[in-house]
Amino acid sequence: MLDAVSLDQLRTFIAAVDEGSFSAASRKLLRSQSVVSETISNLEDQIGVRLFDRSGRCPKLTPAGLAILGDARSTITGVDLLKARAKGMSAGLEPELSAVIDVFYPIDAITQVAKEFRQKYPGVALRIYVEALGGAIKPVLDGRCSIGVIGSLPVIPDTLTYERLPGITFLMVAARDHALTSYRGKIPKEVLGKHTQIVLTDRSELSSGREFGVMSPTVWRLADLFAKHHFLLNGLGWGGMPLHAVRKDLEEGRLSVLPIEDVPPDGLILAMSAVWQTKSPPGPAGRWFIDRLKQIPVETGKVPKPPVTRKKARRFAKT
């Protein structure tokens, strides 16, 4: 008898729970109350479980009904996703979108787009990877990801097509008590070279033998931006970070911007691009994903000033 359970029965059961009564469910489903009651009774007979206690004025869920409710919702959700995916595929919509994102790109922007993506394309599975340097482009080259958001490689392979996205502000920073923060004036590169630089390492081989932004012979290499951030906060070296990742640290004085020779005071703009294999352009969902990223402004502009400490306030009062 369990094989005879229908989606209509499950939807009617869920409607009765959500609306609070059989009569309210009948109004929502545009059916008579007797049809709703009969449908649920037939479901109870088929599964051999009482879903509602009808001894009171209004039927109430039994403990068994409460347990079955979760399964019913999961079943209906799964069927709805199947139907949405099949409808999308018949219209040329890709069944899955896989994207690899450069670790420097603002995660808040990706999260916002992902939320909207789920609403717009409920039948398209979304996979997101976050990588650095060559790791953000290799999954596109080898076909594991359909699109990539990159910003760390100066040369994009000829097999890929790219579109520019809004750039991000990139700053050189160190902990507030690091020796470099007490240097007066612009810091020459030979002075930077006397201190440990914290850099991200490339887990792919695409940048083998090349260095990007390395100015010190003493380097600690980390494969994770989160780890790099904490190393910088703890004074273990200096290094570059995207503004959106360290804004609060700058505002609250935990990190300071290093005024480096030949670097603008408000930092560098790191160009970002969306890329894909030229022979496999993005489908409707991928195209929407890229276009939506273009519309979301990322954080650029003036670097926040650190808070004025008592020591600084006394010094300013004397001038």
- Judged against a pLDDT cut of 80, whether residue 147 lies above it is answered with yes
pLDDT of residue 250: 93
Note whether 26 and 104 are same-domain residues: no
> 67, 90, 113 — which closes off a domain?
90
Confirm whether 20 is domain-assigned. yes
109 shares a domain with 53:
no
Q: How far apart are CA 229 and CA 100, in angstroms?
A: 21
The bridge status of strand 96-102 relative to strand 160-175 is unpaired
Characterize the bridge pairing of strands 268-277 and 52-53.
Answer: unpaired
pTM score of the predicted model: 0.64
Q: Is the pLDDT of residue 135 over 60?
A: yes
What is the number of structural domains in the chain?
2
Distance of CA 167 to the CA centre of its chain: 17
133 and 221 assigned to the same domain: yes
Question: Taking residues 135-162, what's their average pLDDT?
Answer: 84
Residue 40 and residue 118 in one domain = no
Residues 65 and 164 reside in one and the same domain: no
Classify residue 318: in a domain, yes or no: no
How do 96-102 and 147-150 pair as beta strands?
parallel
pLDDT digits (tens, 9 = 90+) for 171-215: 999 999 999 999 988 999 889 889 999 998 876 665 554 556 677
111 plus 86 within the same structural domain:
no
Instruction: Please tell me whether residues 133 and 230 are part of one structural domain.
Output: yes
Domain annotation covers residue 78: yes
Amino acid at 109: A
Number of Cβ within 10 Å of residue 296's Cβ equals 15
β-strands 160-175, 239-242 pairing: antiparallel
Q: Is the Cβ–Cβ distance between 134 and 102 less than 8 Å?
A: no
What is the reported pLDDT for 172? 92
Q: At what angle do helices 7-19 and 22-29 cross, to 10 degrees?
A: 120
Indicate which CATH number applies to the domain containing 203. 3.40.190.290
> Is residue 146 within 8 Å of residue 287, measured between CB atoms?
no
Evaluate whether residue 309 is within a structural domain: no
- Considering the domain architecture, whether residues 232 and 267 belong to the same structural domain is answered as yes
Considering the domain architecture, whether residues 68 and 110 belong to the same structural domain is answered as no
DSSP the chain: -GGG--HHHHHHHHHHHHHSSHHHHHHHHTS-HHHHHHHHHHHHHHHT---EE-SSSS-EE-HHHHHHHHHHHHHHHHHHHHHHHHHHHHTT--SEEEEEEETTS-HHHHHHHHHHHHHH-TTSEEEEEEE-GGGGTHHHHTTS-SEEEE-S-S---TTEEEEEEEEEEEEEEEETTSGGGG--SSBPHHHHTTSPEEEEPPSSSTTTT--SS---SSEEEES-HHHHHHHHHTTS-BEEEEHHHHHHHHHTTSEEE--BTTS-TT-EEEEEEEEEETTS---HHHHHHHHHHHHSPP--SSPPPPPPPHHHHHHHHH-
Residues 6+ apart with CB under 8 A from 159: 141, 277, 278, 279
Domain co-membership, 56 together with 103: no
The Cα–Cα gap between 215 and 222 comes to 16
Kindly state whether residue 310 falls inside one of the protein's structural domains.
Answer: no
* pLDDT tens-digit readout, 39-84: 999 998 888 889 998 888 788 899 999 999 988 888 887 777 676 6
The CATH number given to whatever domain includes residue 46 is 1.10.10.10
Q: For residue 56, give its domain range.
A: 2-90
Task: For residue 300, tell me if it sits in a domain.
Answer: no
How, if at all, do strands 219-222 and 268-277 pair? Answer: unpaired
Examine the pLDDT at 152 and tell me if it is beyond 80: no
pLDDT of residue 157: 78
| 241 and 116 inside one domain | yes
86 and 100 belong to one structural domain: no
Distance (Å, rounded) from C-alpha 153 to C-alpha 151?
Answer: 6
